[in-house]
Amino acid sequence: MSNFSRQIRFSSSMIRCLQYRISRSFTTIEGHRPTIVHKQGLDILHDPWFNKGTAFSMTERDRLELRGLLPPNVMSNEQQIDRFMADLKRLEVNARDGPSDTNSLAKWRILNRLHDRNETMYYKVLIAKIEEYAPIVYTPTVGLVCQKYGGLFRRPRGMYFSAADRGEMMSMVYNWPAEQVDMIVVTDGSRILGLGDLGVQGIGIAIGKLDLYVAAAGINPQRVLPIMIDVGTNNEALLKDPLYLGLQQHRLDGEEYLAVIDEFMEAVFTRWPHVIVQFEDFQSKWAFKLLQRYRNSYRMFNDDVQGTAGVAIAGLLGAVRAQGKPMIDFPKQKIVVAGAGSAGIGVLNAARKTMARMLGNNELAYESAGSQFWVVDANGLITEERENIDDDAKPFARKTKEMGRQGLKEGASLVEVVREVKPDVLLGLSAVGGLFSEEVLEALKGSTSTRPAIFAMSNPTTNAECTPEEAFSIVGENVVFASGSPFADVDLGNGHIGHCNQGNNMYLFPGIGLGTLLSGSRIVSDGMLQAAAECLAGYMTEEEVLKGIIYPSISSIRDITKQVAAAVISEAIEEDLAEGYREMDAREIRKLNKDEIISYVEDNMWSPEYPTLIYKND
């Protein structure tokens, strides 16, 4: 694609998203099809995929031999939810699990029990109250859940492949009951949010991400599969814990590690050739290597590297617009990034490419874009003088010569860098809570921007580089603020609100997965990821960004995901990658216009409605 057409497409895909947002509402047909089941009686009541609990009608109770197994009053779905919510609200007041976050953990337990009993109702509650419960099933509470997983574990969910299963994975994969799996989220537990190596307990993050796939993307919950690959742990506390559920050995490394992941990939793609595998929370050391190893041969992507990058780009472009400038001014922004791990480097690469595209998409543009970034890691500012510099960070090392001019040197502290650079944007993906200290934020007051932006993107809440209160009170009421985990908006007095945006990859990964699935593309291309990011960037109206609202509310996540999926499909078609999905074959999908693509996405989004169940004995 030429630079010119890329530029045009850049803005037209944003406008498209905005138009869809205004003009469409969604309907779905998935829920109206009857479902054939091969079990009856108690077996149905104990199966969360089919169970409707007290909502089974009398005719269904007869048909499925449920008469007498349930209390006689047939409840509507609304009554069921009212009863559940009354219980949830009462228990959350009484439950006390420990000194911190007692209510959120209690809520997670109650929701998890519902998930075990009746999946349809679970997702109905989650979708209806996504703003309230995303922070429970996802960040921040999911972090606490992973930390305490040993004690919380009751019924298994998902699959576990371990280093002890080498040579067996190809047959093990057939132990999963679903014939079709659309989406796998896999982790090796080595870097769960910003909480480090949690070993086998990291399965919680795969479960949480897939909850969003169902709630936001409408992936059928019977076709999602959370997976934990247990190659050991280097967490000494877990290695010593007699109650730890995983392998008590140090992590495999090198070729041994790769052999396990290779075997896993071969096994899942053999059984489900069309599945999409999202890699989640792999330590940076392996995140990039595995992405390079698999991305051209399997339908996979790394959410921390690629999903985060897209969300950050959308937010960075929003921050430019919030200054009252056109997006094309993005290449002039000075950006300080704290953190050079999988997430930080992913964002840096994508931001540099986006700037380069805007500057003409040639080598010179790419070089020049590189000079807009200053990267600080645990050892301070990264320059050419850094010894044993990581290959992925190398392209962002500052040149020694110009550092002298700027009064900075190798290893300069974050506060020194902010003081000298006077950046437009300070972005944290360091996993260090409070890194944007008072001193750093004071230094940011010297920013040359009329409206500096602070992205405290590390998770969970305690790892946020600063809070919105700190940002607004120290740097000024005019700042644009985003955090990885949710915070409440800040009341600035006199009717002014300091908006706290949630800059989290949850706004993109569900749409990337859904769009890839429905396009039938064999890979997740850079263009598809770029289209997703552009769509999110274009989702916000001018009025919103000028108020400092650069990301949408989570309450519209289902709509955003639909738009993002449509943008991904359009790009897959444009790149000639779309092979179609189910009855929509490669030829048909290419004929779809923009509105038809949106309808196609809508029609394939699962909604939590009880289907009519028909019993068949075979």
How big is the chain by its Cα radius of gyration, in Å? 24
Strands (E), 149-248: 159-162, 183-187, 224-230
Question: Of the candidates 432, 497, 546, 586, which one interacts with ligand NAI according to CB under 6 A?
Answer: 432
Which residue in the block uniquely carries the two structure tokens 């709509």? 559
Query: Based on CB atoms, which residue is closest to ligand PYR, 194 or 246?
Result: 194
Torsion angle in degrees (nearest 10) through CA of 261, 266, 272, 274: 90
C-beta of residue 454 within 8 angstroms of C-beta of residue 436: yes
Residue 502 lies near ligand PYR (rule: CB under 6 A):
no
Query: Which one, of 268, 269, 270, 291, lies nearest residue 279 by Cα?
Result: 291
Residues numbered 279 to 318 that lie near Mg ion (CB under 5 A) are 281, 304
Residues numbered 274 to 293 that lie near ligand PYR (CB under 6 A) are 281
Residue 433: its H or E element = none
| Contact string (CB under 6 A) for ligand PYR, positions 166-205, x = contact | ---------------------------x------------
Catalytic residue (choose from 52, 107, 124, 209) = 209
Omega within 30 of 0 (cis) for the link into 468: no
Residue 534 lies near ligand PYR (rule: CB under 6 A):
no
C-beta of residue 230 within 8 angstroms of C-beta of residue 186: no
Residues numbered 135 to 194 that lie near ligand NAI (CB under 6 A) are 191, 193-194
Query: Based on CB atoms, which residue is closest to ligand NAI, 221 or 484?
Result: 484
Range in contact with ligand NAI (rule: CB under 6 A) among 112-120, 160-168, 336-344, 548-556: 336-344
Largest CA distance in the chain: 83
Question: Of the candidates 344, 423, 510, 552, which one interacts with ligand NAI according to CB under 6 A?
Answer: 344
Residue 104 lies near ligand PYR (rule: CB under 6 A):
no
CA gap 301, 278 in Å, rounded: 5
Q: Would residue 138 show up in a list of annotated catalytic residues for this protein?
A: yes
How far apart are CB 303 and ligand PYR at their closest, in Å?
A: 6
- Contacts for 222 with CB less than 8 Å, ≥ 6 apart: 49, 119, 178
φ/ψ of 351, rounded to 5, equals -65, -40
How far apart are CB 303 and Mg ion at their closest, in Å?
A: 6
Residue 498: its H or E element = strand 496-498
SS percent in the chain: helix, strand, coil, step 5: 50, 10, 35
Omega within 30 of 0 (cis) for the link into 460: yes
Query: Based on CB atoms, which residue is closest to ligand NAI, 284 or 323?
Result: 284
Question: Of the candidates 376, 412, 500, 528, which one interacts with ligand NAI according to CB under 6 A?
Answer: 376
Q: Would residue 148 show up in a list of annotated catalytic residues for this protein?
A: no
Torsion angle in degrees (nearest 10) through CA of 258, 261, 264, 266: -60
Partner in contact with 311, chosen from ligand PYR, Mg ion, ligand NAI, none, beta carbon below 5 to 8 Å by kind: ligand NAI
Residue 465 lies near ligand PYR (rule: CB under 6 A):
no
Question: Of the candidates 340, 359, 500, 605, which one interacts with ligand NAI according to CB under 6 A?
Answer: 340
CA gap 566, 23 in Å, rounded: 15
Residue 60 lies near ligand PYR (rule: CB under 6 A):
no
| Contact string (CB under 6 A) for ligand NAI, positions 495-524, x = contact | --------xxx-------------------
Catalytic residue (choose from 123, 138, 213, 507) = 138
Query: Which one, of 520, 472, 528, lies nearest residue 500 by Cα?
Result: 472
Residue 377 lies near Mg ion (rule: CB under 5 A):
no
Residues that bind ligand PYR (CB under 6 A): 139, 193, 281, 303-304, 459, 484, 504-505
**Positions marked catalytic:** 138, 209
Residues that bind Mg ion (CB under 5 A): 281, 304
